[in-house]
Each structure stands twice: as C-alpha cells, then as structure tokens.
Amino acid sequence: DSGVTQTPKHLITATGQRVTLRCSPRSGDLSVYWYQQSLDQGLQFLIQYYNGEERAKGNILERFSAQQFPDLHSELNLSSLELGDSALYFCASSVEGGEPYNEQFFGPGTRLTVL
C-alpha cells in the first residue's frame, strides 16, 4: 500500500460524457502527478500540481483538466469522452525536497472504459 488512494477503481461510461477521477496523496506530500496508461501509448505524464498550483504539463488534451484543492487532494476531469480515452489513470504523489525524497508513490489507478 503506497498511501495514495484513488477513486473510483473502475468507471464505465459512454462517449461524449464527462467524468471526474479523484486522488488523495500520501499524508504530507505536496506534489500530485497524473499519468495515463493506454495500450498503444504506454505510461504518459499528463499534469503535475504542487500545493494547489499547476507546475508542469505533459500530453494532456484540452478536454482534460485537473485541480488540486486546499486539502491537497486532486481531481482529474475528463470531458467529451472518446473511445480512445479508455485507459488506466494513475495518480502519484511525492514530497517536495531533495534526495532521497524524489520517489513518486503511485496509487492503484482508475480504469476508465468508454463505450
């Protein structure tokens, strides 16, 4: 158990719909990362938040957005869903600081299926 929790575990929805994935980081971790893992693209970084502020952006579509709340939990919003958005979505968290605290702890993931 990494200490990072994600809900829901599974999500099945239809094309065109909107969903929200939730992540609670480990206690004390200020950074939250979202990654997408699909069969054809592998594990890809989407976006990072640090203490409520967006810090880095990866291959995140404009239809996707995220935020980090004052209690440090984060939500990833996916809208106008397409079949190709079906994937595993992972959240990870880490402590801000130097060595050896750059390890990222991953949650169990949310499996999204778009039908």
Work out whether 40 is an interface residue with another protein (CB under 8 A). no
The 8-class DSSP code of residue 26 comes to: P
Q: Which stretch binds another protein (CB under 8 A): 12-20, 68-76, 84-92?
A: 84-92
Q: Which stretch binds another protein (CB under 8 A): 14-22, 68-76, 77-85, 103-111?
A: 103-111
| Closer Cβ to another protein, 17 or 51, answer by number | 51
Residue type, 6: Q
Residue 89 to residue 38: CA distance in whole angstroms: 9
Burial of 33 (0-12, 13-18, 19+ CB in 10 A): buried
Residue 21 to residue 8: CA distance in whole angstroms: 7
Work out whether 110 is an interface residue with another protein (CB under 8 A). no
Work out whether 25 is an interface residue with another protein (CB under 8 A). no
- The residue to which tokens 């594990």 are assigned: 43
Work out whether 17 is an interface residue with another protein (CB under 8 A). no
Residue 113 to residue 115: CA distance in whole angstroms: 6
Residue type, 112: L
Q: Which stretch binds another protein (CB under 8 A): 11-19, 41-49, 67-75, 76-84?
A: 41-49
Binding site for another protein (CB under 8 A): 2, 4, 31, 33, 35, 42-45, 48, 50, 55-56, 58, 88, 90, 92, 94-96, 98-99, 102-109, 111
